[in-house]
Amino acid sequence: MVTIKELLAEDGIIFISIDDNEQHHLRMLMDEIFGEKNIVANFTWWSKYTLSNDSKTISYQHENILSYAKNLDVCQIGLLPRTPEMDKSYKNPDEDPKGPWKATPLHAKSGRDEDRYSVQFSNGVTWHCPEGRFPRYTQEKLMELYNDDQLYFGKSGKSQPNKKTYLSEVKAGKTIGSLWPYHEVGSTHQANEELASVMGKGAFNNPKGTKLIQRVFQTANLSSDDIVLDSFAGSGTTAHAVLALNKKDSGNRKFILVECQEYADTITAERVRRVINGVPDATDEALCEGLGGSFTYCTLGEPLDIEAMLTGEKLPTYTALATNLLFTSAGISVEDVTLDQKNDDGLFYSDDKNDYYLIYKPDLEYLRSNEAILNMEHAKRIQDSSYENGKKAIVYAAGNHIGQRELTKMGIAFCQLPYAIHER
């Protein structure tokens, strides 16, 4: 979880689905890592619309989705689209050039008696608070509203006034609530049906639906070029939801899915392939046509066991070590099958600026011998080869017999292998 926090953008948000059994433990963990002040909400997904009568105790119809921001002060929670129901009370009976508005009372429930006042407007109407209510505005502010034509005195122009609250001045959307009902974000049954339409029935138990993930995206205020990480990808719903949203608004969002189970290729990745290319029998037109996009499927190589390497118990292959060194030192990720030794000097990779060399064999006796050490003869061959190409040479080896000052003159950067296996 600490690593995930580090990966989040400064305005990023994390959402975790959890049941009631572990919710309180997770809350304590998240408070410790993210800080209590950065909780967004414990959202409740009303996921089932039927009761399980065979339940021994309570039939659970919801799941918890715990959400924290990396920094709540800078993150911006999104809004839902406004509905026609929200806007229908806004009218424009007096043809106000500022557009539709609705009447808002000039009084409020709470206040102080000393703030009460009575005012007569130039149109002859006198206004004062009803009994038990208090002015919403100061007398000075109220006169400003009157002079700016923001008070409405009814069709006759002589009724008790209300303030005009303009549609153009209200929130551009609807505030997101903490209860997410199935008729808005889908149910577990609908999620199962959605997955079955792509992968067939019974492919995966209890998947999440794309409508639920879309609500997550709305809450996180996902922009058109954001990156979404799902560290427990399951059936691949997150990728499906990202691709569908990109299709809808021509966005360029990216996704990273992580799945360690055996079904990572046959279900998780396969679902993504199908929704990209199209599902012929799908009832959804966009899904039938294909959502478009692309992704790269990667698998983890064997881990490098440092302790085993130090003792010589388990040495990585040349390819595995070269791949690891290239990524950890230069941030370059390539298919490990391409990183073989290309010549006798240990060249294994080249880019526009550098040649990368690794002097290594997965043999303890070799690593303890002078052959594993960069010497002057070897260095000159590397210098001649890389100099011809106008590149700097980066050499990884168990040790060297040349000072760094001399190596720098030769255009060589030496990096000693971070292991003690070469000690003699």
Q: What is the pTM of this model?
A: 0.73
Q: Answer whether 349's CB lies under 8 Å from 334's CB.
A: yes
Element (H, E) at 385: helix 376-388
Element (H, E) at 367: helix 364-367
| Three-state secondary-structure class, residue 355 | strand
Q: Is the pLDDT of residue 168 over 50?
A: yes
Q: Is the pLDDT of residue 324 over 80?
A: yes
Predicted local distance difference test score (pLDDT) of residue 304? 66
Residue of higher predicted confidence among 148 and 304: 148
Predicted local distance difference test score (pLDDT) of residue 100? 95
Which amino acid, residue 313? E
pLDDT in tens, 260-305: 999 999 999 999 999 999 999 888 899 999 999 999 998 887 666 6
Check if CATH label 3.40.50.720 holds for domain 2-79+175-289. no
Structural tokens at position 175? 């505030």
Task: Round to whole Å and give the CA distance between 338 and 370.
Answer: 27
Which amino acid, residue 394? I
Q: pLDDT confidence of 91, banded at 50, 70, 90?
A: very high
Q: Is the pLDDT of residue 326 over 90?
A: no
Of residues 232, 229, 217, 214, the one with CA closest to residue 268: 232
Work out the average pLDDT over 30-43: 97
Q: Is the pLDDT of residue 423 over 50?
A: no
Q: Is the pLDDT of residue 310 over 60?
A: no
Task: Round to whole Å and give the CA distance between 74 and 10.
Answer: 7
Element (H, E) at 164: strand 162-166
Predicted local distance difference test score (pLDDT) of residue 5? 95
Predicted local distance difference test score (pLDDT) of residue 420? 41
Q: pLDDT confidence of 338, banded at 50, 70, 90?
A: confident
Predicted local distance difference test score (pLDDT) of residue 389? 80
The count of C-alpha atoms lying within 13 angstroms of the C-alpha of 348, restricted to the half-sphere facing its C-beta, is 27
pLDDT in tens, 350-368: 988 999 999 999 888 888 8
Work out the average pLDDT over 30-35: 96
Q: Where in the chain is the domain with CATH 3.40.50.150?
A: 2-79+175-289
What b/e string do you get for 59-92 counting C-beta neighbours within 10 Å, with b at 16 or more? eebbbbbbbbbbbbeebebbeeeeeeeeeeebee
Q: pLDDT confidence of 337, banded at 50, 70, 90?
A: low
Output phi, psi for 376, to 5 deg.
-65, -40
Predicted local distance difference test score (pLDDT) of residue 306? 60
Which amino acid, residue 231? S
Percent of the chain with pLDDT over 70: 95
DSSP string, 263-296: GGIIIIIHHHHHHHH--TT-SSHHHHH-------
Predicted local distance difference test score (pLDDT) of residue 421? 41
In this structure, what DSSP letter does residue 91 have?
B
Q: Please state the separation of Cα 49 from the chain's center in Å.
A: 29
Structural tokens at position 274? 């199908």
Q: How high is the mean pLDDT of the chain?
A: 91
